[in-house]
Amino acid sequence: MTQQDRFCPACAAALEVKEVFGRERPVCSSCNRIVFYDPKVAVICIVPREGKVLMIRRGTDVGYGLWGLPGGYVDRGEVVEGAAAREVWEETGLEVEVGELLGLYSESGNPVMVAAYTARETGGTLKAGPEALEVGYFSVDQLPELAFPRDRDILGRWQNGLG
């Protein structure tokens, strides 16, 4: 548990870690409420152009300086496809129409689930946003050094029509 996860959201008593439903979970020491932490949902988009895909060189702490598909976190109450379009615009300056959901990806021990979509450019001007150092298009066969290995797997599945 992190420092912020020390108190019950219902009664503010201290949380303890106990085995519940076959896993260690935070449980309130006073009201016995089991606290379930929701996973964080992120979105990424594959935006093709002339046989290449749009990538950003990350300017944030996770994977700083490495490359990835444009995307980011879905805000509470936001429609997932809307979040995907917003993130592409914020990071690349491009407006897109979000298309097919390629899949939902997760890894053991990682609280982030990633929804991968296809997207089609509809406007805007290609430029690096505040969280990107650079933007560019790359061949799936000649990708730069990636921040997240799953991006290569997702691109491979997309390229082979597996979604």
Cβ neighbours of 76 (radius 10 Å): 7
Average confidence score pLDDT of the chain: 92
Total domain count, the chain: 2
CB 57 within 8 A of CB 133: yes
State yes or no: is 78 an active-site residue: no
In 3D, which of 108, 90, 88 has the Cα closest to residue 99?
88
Residues 15 and 90 in one domain: no
CATH at 79: 3.90.79.10
pLDDT score at 86:
96
Residues 12 and 52 in one domain: no
Please pick, among 24, 81, 134, 145, the residue that the annotation labels catalytic. Answer: 134
Residue 99 backbone dihedrals phi, psi, to 5 degrees? -110, -125
Residues 1 and 52 in one domain: no
Query: Stretch 29-36: mean pLDDT, rounded?
Result: 90
DSSP per-residue letters across 94-107 = EEEEEEEEEEEE--
Domain with 126, as residue range(s), is: 40-159
Residues 10 and 63 in one domain: no
CA-CA distance, 40 to 80, in Å (whole number)?
12
Residue 18 in this model has a pLDDT that exceeds 70: yes
Q: What is the pLDDT of residues 33-90, one digit of tens each?
A: 988 877 799 999 999 999 999 999 999 888 999 999 999 999 988 999 999 999 999 9
Q: What is the pLDDT of residues 3-16, one digit of tens each?
A: 557 898 889 999 99
Residues 76 and 113 in one domain: yes
Residues 60 and 107 in one domain: yes
